[in-house]
């Protein structure tokens, strides 16, 4: 057989199948104990292309129902041994999709009512006019199709609604804001996880509760109740949530909820945790105040330098001309204290108006090698052993060598002063490759820092040393910060302190 013949054969086969499917439409089961009725009905309906099945008793009819699952059953009510209505009840119970048309020669409104109550689609009186049977059947089939289509649409809508509910709930639970919805009686209907966390209600069942019973602190402002009463959205920028760990401050925005018909059904409140935002704003305000005070103080300090210089000059002049040794000693003390005041002013001015950075590529290890000869004599005199351990894998980075050297000398000087009876000074460098950071530790075995003072280290004019100003550490912290780094402190009172300088290796 040629390919052309094969192709024609395939097309002929599918055309015949299409024709067969067009001819053989729905499956029809006729249940009647009179053979004449069965044969006549089959003759009329087979011509219309329906696939016909017949049964003359209820038992045979039920077998065909289970085996063939017909689309339509033409069912006689009066059957030997069992009523057709009993079969109708069984069919609608087990196969609700099958349409049933009831037939009887003993027609009455009571029988019709009973049949429709059990789920029949139509009712035909005998004797039948077989020429109209096709029309009745097609009308019933059309009604059944519409019913199935309606059922399918309803299922689709239910599924879509369920999917929408799932999506809406997922979105609600993923929101960064807390959401609480109430009905017109102020009973909670919806609450997401974020709201439970913000409002400190994670271990409570809130749904159905009166909102002011669930969250009494909201009653002080009655924002949600006012939203319903005024029929418009309201807001409060700062509301404290009692009982929350560390104290929580929230911003509340409310609005009215309407249904599709425009009827008010409740209100919704959106809670945003603004605790950190407010704290940052307070810190910024304090820093602005401090910056203003610092600028004023820097100006005053600058003005103080001139008269101090004059006083020191006259003190030196008097010291050179005085023949009284006691007066000379007093003048030396004056000069020493003026020098000390000048140093404090100089440090303060550097903190208030730091010098600009001059970055160059250099290894931290090289900076350490440069300062070791500067600290060894003082350490030797105080019986302090200096242990240096450098990591050769540390890459060169962009730093201001002079400023970094100032930081190291400042921290080392503090460590030496903390070891009044000798001890060990450790200087170690390490490359933290996984974090792309350089770590430089300066440790001592000195007196340590009290735990309550650790958070104050680096604050101007705070010092654990008698007579200290704390400006040296403040300047060091600022220098490291300008290198985009940080200083971390570990200390145990009586056991020593470690200052760790961490600088980004990728700074350029």
Question: And the tokens for 296?
Answer: 């004023």
Cα 379 to Cα 132, 387, 416, 420: the distances in Å are 121, 11, 7, 11
Report the C-alpha gap between 70 and 89 in whole angstroms: 16
- Neighbouring residues of 223: CB distance < 8 A, sequence distance ≥ 6: 234, 236, 252, 254, 269
Residue written as tokens 């210089």? 309
- Neighbouring residues of 301: CB distance < 8 A, sequence distance ≥ 6: 345, 348, 349, 352
252: exposed, middle or buried (Cβ count in 10 Å: 0-12, 13-18, 19+): buried
Kindly report the pTM of this predicted structure: 0.41
178: exposed, middle or buried (Cβ count in 10 Å: 0-12, 13-18, 19+): buried
State the pLDDT at residue 381: 86
Q: In 3-state terms, what secondary structure has residue 450?
A: coil
Which helix H or strand E contains 455, and what residues bound it? none
State the pLDDT at residue 266: 92
Could you tell me which of 438, 437, 351, 430 has the C-alpha nearest to residue 389? 430
Could you tell me which of 325, 328, 390 has the C-alpha nearest to residue 363? 390
Q: How many CB atoms lie within 10 A of CB 201?
A: 21
State the pLDDT at residue 10: 39
Report the C-alpha gap between 91 and 471 in whole angstroms: 95
Q: Does residue 244 contact residue 200 with C-beta atoms inside 8 Å?
A: yes
State the pLDDT at residue 3: 43
Q: CA angle, corner 383, sides to 382 and 389, nearest 5?
A: 110
Q: Does residue 472 contact residue 410 with C-beta atoms inside 8 Å?
A: yes
Full pLDDT tens readout for the chain, 508 residues: 444 444 444 345 444 444 444 444 788 898 888 887 788 888 888 887 888 899 988 989 999 999 998 988 988 888 887 888 889 999 989 998 888 888 877 656 778 888 888 888 888 887 777 777 778 888 888 877 787 788 788 888 888 777 777 766 777 888 888 899 999 999 999 898 888 888 888 888 889 999 999 898 888 888 999 999 999 999 998 888 886 555 788 999 999 999 888 899 999 999 998 888 887 787 677 666 655 655 666 566 666 766 777 777 777 788 777 767 878 778 888 888 777 777 666 656 555 555 667 888 888 999 999 888 888 888 888 899 999 999 988 888 888 888 888 888 888 888 888 888 889 999 999 998 888 889 999 999 988 887 767 666 755 554 555 555 556 677 788 788 888 888 888 888 888 899 999 998 864 4
State the pLDDT at residue 353: 57
State the pLDDT at residue 428: 94
Cα 165 to Cα 162, 181, 310: the distances in Å are 5, 15, 82
Report the C-alpha gap between 391 and 505 in whole angstroms: 14
Q: Does residue 359 contact residue 398 with C-beta atoms inside 8 Å?
A: yes
Report the C-alpha gap between 415 and 496 in whole angstroms: 9
State the pLDDT at residue 439: 92
Report the C-alpha gap between 464 and 415 in whole angstroms: 12
DSSP 280-329: HHHHHHHHHHHHHHHHHHHHHHHHHHHHHHHHHHHHHHHHHH---HHHHH
């Amino acid at each position: 057989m040629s390919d052309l013949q094969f192709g024609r054969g395939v097309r002929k086969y599918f055309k015949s199948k299409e024709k067969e499917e067009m001819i053989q439409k729905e499956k029809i089961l006729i249940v009647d104990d009179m053979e004449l009725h069965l044969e006549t009905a089959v003759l009329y309906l087979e011509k219309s292309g329906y696939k016909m099945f017949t049964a003359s008793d209820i038992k045979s009819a039920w077998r065909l129902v289970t085996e063939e699952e017909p689309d339509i059953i033409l069912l006689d009510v009066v059957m030997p041994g069992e009523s057709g209505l009993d079969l109708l009840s069984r069919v609608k119970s087990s196969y609700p999709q099958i349409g049933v048309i009831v037939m009887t020669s003993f027609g009455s409104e009571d029988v019709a009512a009973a049949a429709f109550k059990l789920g029949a689609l139509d009712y035909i009186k005998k004797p039948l006019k077989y020429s109209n049977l096709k029309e009745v059947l097609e009308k019933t089939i059309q009604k059944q199709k519409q019913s199935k289509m309606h059922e399918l649409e309803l299922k689709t809508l239910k599924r879509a609604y369920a999917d929408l509910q799932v999506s809406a709930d997922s979105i609600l639970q993923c929101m960064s804001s807390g959401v609480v919805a109430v009905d017109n009686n102020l009973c909670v209907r919806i609450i997401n996880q974020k709201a439970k966390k913000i409002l400190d209600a994670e271990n409570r069942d809130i749904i159905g509760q009166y909102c002011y019973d669930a969250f009494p602190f909201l009653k002080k402002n009655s924002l949600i109740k006012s939203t319903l009463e005024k029929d418009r959205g309201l807001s409060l920028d700062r509301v404290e949530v009692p009982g929350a760990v560390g104290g929580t401050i929230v911003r509340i925005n409310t609005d009215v909820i309407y249904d599709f018909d425009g009827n008010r059904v409740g209100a919704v409140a959106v809670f945003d945790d603004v605790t950190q935002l407010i704290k940052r704003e307070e810190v910024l305000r304090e820093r602005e105040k401090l910056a203003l005070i610092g600028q004023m103080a820097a100006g005053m300090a600058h003005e103080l330098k001139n008269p101090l210089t004059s006083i020191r000059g006259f003190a030196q002049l008097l010291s050179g001309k005085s023949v009284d040794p006691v007066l000379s000693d007093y003048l030396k003390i004056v000069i020493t204290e003026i020098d000390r005041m000048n140093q404090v002013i100089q440090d303060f001015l550097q903190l208030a108006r730091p010098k600009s950075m001059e970055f160059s590529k250099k290894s931290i290890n090289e900076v350490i090698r440069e300062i070791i000869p500067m600290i060894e004599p003082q350490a030797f005199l105080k019986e302090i052993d200096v242990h240096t351990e450098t990591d050769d894998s540390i890459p060169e980075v962009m730093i201001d060598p002079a400023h970094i050297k100032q930081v190291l000398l400042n921290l080392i000087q503090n460590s030496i002063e903390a070891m009044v009876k000798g001890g060990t000074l450790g200087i170690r460098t390490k490359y933290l490759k996984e974090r792309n950071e350089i770590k430089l530790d300066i440790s001592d075995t000195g007196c340590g820092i009290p735990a309550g003072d650790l958070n104050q280290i680096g604050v101007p004019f705070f010092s654990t040393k008698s007579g200290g100003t704390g400006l040296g550490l403040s300047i060091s912290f600022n220098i490291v910060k300008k290198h985009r780094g940080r200083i971390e402190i570990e200390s145990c009172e009586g056991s020593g302190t470690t200052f760790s300088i961490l600088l980004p290796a990728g700074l350029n």
